[in-house]
Amino acid sequence: MGSLDKESYDILIIGAGLSGLSSLYNIRKRFPSWKVRVLEAGPSVGGTWYWNCYPGARFDSESISYQLTCDKELLQEWNWKESFAPQAETLRYIERFADKNNLRSDIQFNTTIASARWQDGQRSWLFTDSNGAEYTGRFFISCVGILSNPSTPNIPGIDNFKGQAFHTSRFPKDLVVSRDLAGKRVGVIGTGATGIQTITSIAKEPIIESLSVFQRNATWAAPLRNTEISEEQMKKYKDGYEAMFRYLAETPSGFLHKADPRKSSEVTHKERVALWEKLYEQPGFGKWLGNFSDTYTDREANRLYSDWMANKIRARVNDPLIAEKLVPKNHGFGTRRVPLESGYYDSFNNPKVHLVDIMENPIASVTEKGIVTTDGKAHDLDVLIFATGFDAITGSFSRIDWQSKSGRPLVGSSATEKGKKAIWVDHRPTTAFGILAPDMPNMFMVLGPHQPFGNVPRSIENAVEVVMGMLEHCHKNGFTYVEPTQRACDEWTEHVFECGKGALANEIDSWLTGVNTNVEGKSVRTVARYGGSVVEYRRRCEESKTFGFPGLIFD
């Protein structure tokens, strides 16, 4: 555990989720003599999968595609029970990865980093945790996650509420829904992927008194179609892992699904509907990612599919007025991350579930008893759940007080308190490969802004490989310093914008475009993630390595 003496390491890793564990595993294998430490805020491993234990939390990606490939033995050992694993099963998998490889011995838990300062003379980073303990690292890998900084609305009176209130990612671990919500009036604000899983799950509990769903914009969702995996099926999957991971490496976003090469406009209406119906009946993201190739770049193609999907929603909800409210109006299908659902729309046929349209009548205040909307209506509640998302991507960095090489904060507005312009002004990132940031020597990011996200473990393993390549270059040549030039960062940022051009998703407010109404400085859209193909991302990174990382200064 941390003492107040400064502890020095060759490399520090911040975060013990999948990114941090994968980084640690690889550092140990490739740099066995290095002194390494992982600093983790939580009491255990798992990151996102540790914190997000809200009811209904589970994969929308196929379990078998969501694994780390570095430990081949574990791939053969681990038996997934469901085709889309629930949070508890995923967490057990991550814990097993950590324990099997004895990773915990290099992890310091309950350690929240408060500040980080580059020390130019020593060529190292100085980290200070919330208890004042200090750690220095020659290099460090940021593995802070893209969705780890919960964001809650700033509603007048929010602190007055006398019931239980929490964000989904801080769902109390000891709260048993089927016991503790008995007779309770529950409110959920937010209907993104998290809200949809939470609402569906709570709505199925016969013991609740009522569930009020406070919806601002509706979200497009489509059936998950989860099933159990038999022993026989699991064996078949294992036999095919090599081919499957090769296939995943060739799809644009690392999922088992890729677009139908035809354009929507090239086929007849009958052919379109035939593909849509087929995808709709299949499990997983196919109904988002397996569609005609122009569905998310061509407005008409998107409109046709959205209209068809809207009818699927209408067919499932008994009250036509409610059904209409559940059809998104501000964006087309698939232009935001599509949540997969297991009975979400049917929840609204349950007389205990009430949809409150806060676009029509916004929340005016929170009182001791619950929520009051602008039409004067009081919605009395015992439990209030914020499924209001995250200060995503750049927001995961904002909880640390950074001082770069020239003493600048990493994230902030142009005029900060210390009078120094932030590196990512108003959360607008500039990076090289999404791995390095200007003026931040020796810092590497796994799942940083401007990296592809897609199937997260695939993206993590790609990023870790790029980081290891850079570290090996340092190690082999005796370099103790690496920093991207401003030009390299500008060029990568331009490339990221270029390959996002034409994507309808970049014309929509969402966490993927860096917009969050609850966070200051996040009102203007940017291109916060790499929207091109993962294959192209990897090709560019490999090419850079082959040519000795042009654009990076090593010393």
- The residues that touch ligand NA7, with contacts defined as CB under 6 A, are 147, 153, 189-195, 216-217, 219, 337, 358, 387-389, 511, 517-518
Instruction: Report in angstroms how near the CB of residue 215 gets to ligand NA7 at its nearest.
Output: 7
Distance, CA of 147 to CA of 225 (rounded, Å): 25
Distances (CA, A) of 512 to 15, 454, 490: 21, 11, 20
Of the two residues 108 and 191, which places its CB atom closer to ligand NA7 in the complex? 191
Decide: residue 461, CB within 10 A, 0-12 exposed, 13-18 middle, 19+ buried.
buried
Strand-pairing partners, residue 137, are 9, 125
Of the two residues 192 and 452, which places its CB atom closer to ligand NA7 in the complex? 192
Instruction: Report in angstroms how near the CB of residue 381 gets to ligand NA7 at its nearest.
Output: 15
Of the two residues 104 and 167, which places its CB atom closer to ligand NA7 in the complex? 167
User: Who contacts 379 (Cβ-Cβ below 8 Å, separation ≥6)?
Assistant: 187, 212, 214, 356, 370, 371, 372, 373
Of the two residues 216 and 262, which places its CB atom closer to ligand NA7 in the complex? 216
Residue 383 has φ and ψ, to the nearest 5°, of: -135, 135
Instruction: Report in angstroms how near the CB of residue 401 gets to ligand NA7 at its nearest.
Output: 25
Q: What is the DSSP string of 314-374?
A: HHH-SSHHHHHHHS-SSS-TTSS---EESSHHHHTTSTTEEEEETTTS-EEEE-SSEEEET
Instruction: Report in angstroms how near the CB of residue 216 gets to ligand NA7 at its nearest.
Output: 3
Q: Quick one: DSSP state of residue 84?
A: S
The angle at the Cα of 24, spanning 127 to 243, to the nearest 5 degrees, equals 145
Are the CB atoms for 175 and 184 separated by under 8 Å?
A: no
Of the two residues 111 and 151, which places its CB atom closer to ligand NA7 in the complex? 151
Instruction: Report in angstroms how near the CB of residue 511 gets to ligand NA7 at its nearest.
Output: 5
Instruction: Report in angstroms how near the CB of residue 302 gets to ligand NA7 at its nearest.
Output: 18
Are the CB atoms for 253 and 110 separated by under 8 Å?
A: no
Length of the chain: 555
Of the two residues 361 and 518, which places its CB atom closer to ligand NA7 in the complex? 518
Of the two residues 391 and 483, which places its CB atom closer to ligand NA7 in the complex? 391
- First vs last Cα of the chain: how many Å apart? 33
Of the two residues 115 and 365, which places its CB atom closer to ligand NA7 in the complex? 365
Are the CB atoms for 446 and 139 separated by under 8 Å?
A: no
Q: Are strands 36-39 and 107-108 parallel, antiparallel or unpaired?
A: parallel
Q: Which residue is nearest to ligand NA7 (CB)?
A: 192
Instruction: Report in angstroms how near the CB of residue 57 gets to ligand NA7 at its nearest.
Output: 9
The contacts found for 243-249 with CB under 8 angstroms, 24 or more apart, are 244/64, 244/65, 245/69, 248/65, 248/455, 248/458, 249/458, 249/534, 249/535, 249/538
Instruction: Report in angstroms how near the CB of residue 179 gets to ligand NA7 at its nearest.
Output: 25
Of the two residues 395 and 484, which places its CB atom closer to ligand NA7 in the complex? 395
Are the CB atoms for 301 and 264 separated by under 8 Å?
A: yes
Counting Cα atoms < 13 Å in the Cβ hemisphere of 273 gives: 7
Of the two residues 340 and 445, which places its CB atom closer to ligand NA7 in the complex? 340
Instruction: Report in angstroms how near the CB of residue 162 gets to ligand NA7 at its nearest.
Output: 21
Instruction: Report in angstroms how near the CB of residue 460 gets to ligand NA7 at its nearest.
Output: 14
Q: Where are the alpha helices (DSSP H) in 406-533?
A: 456-477, 486-499
Of the two residues 164 and 518, which places its CB atom closer to ligand NA7 in the complex? 518
H or E element at residue 37: strand 36-39
Of the two residues 330 and 486, which places its CB atom closer to ligand NA7 in the complex? 330
Q: Quick one: DSSP state of residue 62?
A: -
CA torsion 468-25-21-450 (nearest 10°) is 10
Instruction: Report in angstroms how near the CB of residue 166 gets to ligand NA7 at its nearest.
Output: 13
Distance, CA of 82 to CA of 421 (rounded, Å): 49
Of the two residues 337 and 369, which places its CB atom closer to ligand NA7 in the complex? 337
Distance, CA of 242 to CA of 72 (rounded, Å): 10
Residue 39 CB neighbours (<10 A): 26
Instruction: Report in angstroms how near the CB of residue 194 gets to ligand NA7 at its nearest.
Output: 3
Distance, CA of 372 to CA of 209 (rounded, Å): 19
Instruction: Report in angstroms how near the CB of residue 344 gets to ligand NA7 at its nearest.
Output: 12
